[in-house]
Amino acid sequence: MKVDERLFPLMREMGEIANKLRANSQQLSPRVGEIAIGGAHMDPLFRAVGLEQVLRTLRQGGGIDWAIDSGKLAVKHSIQKWNDQREWQVHRWENGVDSFLDGWQRRLEEEIK
């Protein structure tokens, strides 16, 4: 299946936002020699992971529903991995990025109506 060209501008925007989210995560991350308190630096990273997976799936010709589900699954796995490594810290909710990706799904579907 070929990507609908009407999605290209939105896909470029998604890529730019994913890059900004990754940069924000880096900015919030503890520096060398510092100790992280909490995991606020991970929230933008989880959003970026979701957007990047949505883009990969769309570029491979997957439909919007499949792309969003794929993004949610990638985020869920990332959060599970984060939570598993932090027994002593507040865990992140595994579906915490779903509403963010649902918003992108609505925007993508509006674009092709």
> What is the distance between the alpha carbons of residues 104 and 98, in angstroms, rounded to a whole number?
10
Per the structure, the complete domain to which residue 99 belongs is given by 5-111
Nearest to 78 by CA among 108, 44, 107: 44
Nearest to 93 by CA among 36, 39, 23: 39
pTM (two decimals):
0.88
Which residue intervals of 1-113 are DSSP H helices? 8-28, 42-59, 64-84, 98-111
pLDDT, tens digit only, all 113 positions of the chain:
688 899 999 999 999 999 999 999 988 888 888 877 667 888 999 999 999 999 999 999 999 999 999 999 999 999 999 888 877 677 788 888 999 999 999 999 999 98
> What is the distance between the alpha carbons of residues 35 and 92, in angstroms, rounded to a whole number?
19
> What is the distance between the alpha carbons of residues 99 and 105, in angstroms, rounded to a whole number?
10
Domain count, the chain: 1
> What is the distance between the alpha carbons of residues 45 and 97, in angstroms, rounded to a whole number?
10
